Amino acid sequence: MPKLDLAAIPQTNATGYPAPFDAAVAERWYRRLAPVAGLTLMGASHVTLNPGAFSSQRHWHRGQDELVVMIEGEAVLIDDTGETRVGPGDVLAFPAGDTNGHHLHNRSDAPCVFVAISAGSREADSGEYPDIDMVFDAEGYARKDGTRYDAHRIP
Amino acid sequence: MPKLDLAAIPQTNATGYPAPFDAAVAERWYRRLAPVAGLTLMGASHVTLNPGAFSSQRHWHRGQDELVVMIEGEAVLIDDTGETRVGPGDVLAFPAGDTNGHHLHNRSDAPCVFVAISAGSREADSGEYPDIDMVFDAEGYARKDGTRYDAHRIP
């Protein structure tokens, strides 16, 4: 069915982030939509941030475009330009290669819901986390001196 | 800015469809987001269907995944399985190569707003319109006997 039965798709809060960077996303609950829907040319996740949760560590991608469509609730977009309130109907775009690290923080007392879409080669992707000693590639996570964390990205 | 200033992006109702197939989308007003946002690996449009408008002629793509995130108002999704009401927060997915032709029809008396995202090679894409004598490819539109319409796809 083209209309996805969201309630029937299990939610997970799994993350590949090594400790202590995993704590920020412990209350990020998401459904991977692409595998269920048969999409092979984009990634898509339906994400609920419970109060206090971040969407990710602040990051940017070398090889993937990202788009976020806000559905419900409010969050604060944090990037190099500062803080911006976002809510239902807002659309956020993060082009591949743009080094403006970004994430969303739910500072409200209600859940915040959005759909995040990505396109571009996941295997060739890499990126950085400006605020912490971490970078990523297709394999997983490393420190900025190149030594690896014992941590792998969630497929 | 990652948060797109939607109101500052001009809307258009342009279509490449040849007459009489253009009439169904005359009240489909859209903003192309990818060029403004610098996205190169996906397409994205912010679409308003005024009452009575269709999102497109009923169609499917060989080479592009499509995803629709409903933001505001109501529409009826029409595909091979029948008719399905959709509204805010619903997510619709149309995998590349799935021959289940689809479109949205706003049968309400208020505008319906959604974001449509596509990924995959636009140049290598083609597809069909099950209900009318038309197919498409990167160049434009043709009848099912292969003769071309004098009509080109909007970039």
Is residue A74 over pLDDT 80? Answer: yes
Give residue A66's pLDDT band: very low, low, confident or very high (50, 70, 90).
very high
Q: What pLDDT, on the 0 to 100 scale, is given for residue B61?
A: 98
Q: What pLDDT, on the 0 to 100 scale, is given for residue A155?
A: 72
Predicted complex ipTM exceeds 0.95 = yes
- Picking from B2, B64, B91, the nearest residue to A77 by CB comes out as B2
Q: pLDDT tens digit string along A95-148?
A: 999 999 999 999 999 999 999 999 999 889 999 999 999 999 998 999 999 999
Q: How far apart are CA B78 and CA B25, in angstroms?
A: 15
Q: What is chain A's mean pLDDT, rounded?
A: 97
* A39 contacts in chain B (CB < 8 Å): 65, 67, 93, 95-96
Query: Tens-digit pLDDT profile for chain B (155 aa)?
Result: 899 999 999 999 999 999 999 999 999 999 999 999 999 999 999 999 999 999 999 999 999 999 999 999 999 999 999 999 999 999 999 999 999 999 999 999 999 999 999 999 988 999 999 999 999 999 899 999 999 999 888 87
Which residue's entry shows tokens 């082009």?
A95
Q: Chain A: give the shortest CA distance to residue B37, in Å.
A: 6
* B100 contacts in chain A (CB < 8 Å): 2
| Both structure tokens of B50 | 């005024």
| Both structure tokens of A105 | 């923080």
Is B96 an interface residue toward A (CB < 8 Å)? yes
Question: Nearest Cα to B3, choosing from A34, A18, A84?
Answer: A84
Sequence-separated (6 or more) residues with CB below 8 Å from residue B111: B48, B49, B50, B51, B72, B73
The reported pTM is 0.97
Q: What pLDDT, on the 0 to 100 scale, is given for residue B57?
A: 98
Which residue's entry shows tokens 């043709």?
B142
